[in-house]
Amino acid sequence: MPSLHADLIRALAGGALIGLAAAMFLLLNGRIAGISGILGGLLRPVRSELGWRIAFLLGLVLSPLVFALFAPLPLVHVGAGKASLIVGGLLVGLGTRYGAGCTSGHGVCGIARLSPRSLAATAVFMLAGFVTVFVLRHLSGSGA
């Protein structure tokens, strides 16, 4: 079992890589690395943009598999049922639509650019997450 120190180093390295990738994507392509926007662009495809969008999303899917060749992936246990995960996923999708972006677009890229809209959006989705956890763990009686 990895130590807390090793987990901290991995988390810091992962965060630094996400920040570096987002900065490089903006500098080299002039685009924000917001996953919902990149994926949404495939739903209304523009021929000249298909290649980079598919490559970006494939990189998100394949990179953990490449990482697993060198180190074991951490075990993840999700304590929610399938119905909860489906409802949660739909709510996140609805939120990204109404919020005009997701955590990667607003939380990583927008805050780095000091975008007032992204600062507000990130504050709202963080607050919504805090309230949801509080209600589910302390007020609903489920103790989940």
Kindly list the domain boundaries of the chain, sorted by start residue: 4-139
Mean pLDDT of 35-50: 88
Supply the pLDDT for residue 73.
Answer: 79
* pLDDT greater than 80 at residue 124: yes
Take residue 77 and report the two structure tokens written for it. Answer: 């246990």
Q: Comparing 24 with 74, which gets the higher pLDDT?
A: 24
- What does the alpha-carbon distance between residue 4 and residue 69 come to, in Å, rounded to a whole number? 23
pLDDT digits (tens, 9 = 90+) for 62-101: 998 998 898 887 788 888 888 988 988 888 888 888 878 8
Is-contact 104 35, C-beta < 8 A? Answer: yes
- What does the alpha-carbon distance between residue 24 and residue 15 come to, in Å, rounded to a whole number? 14
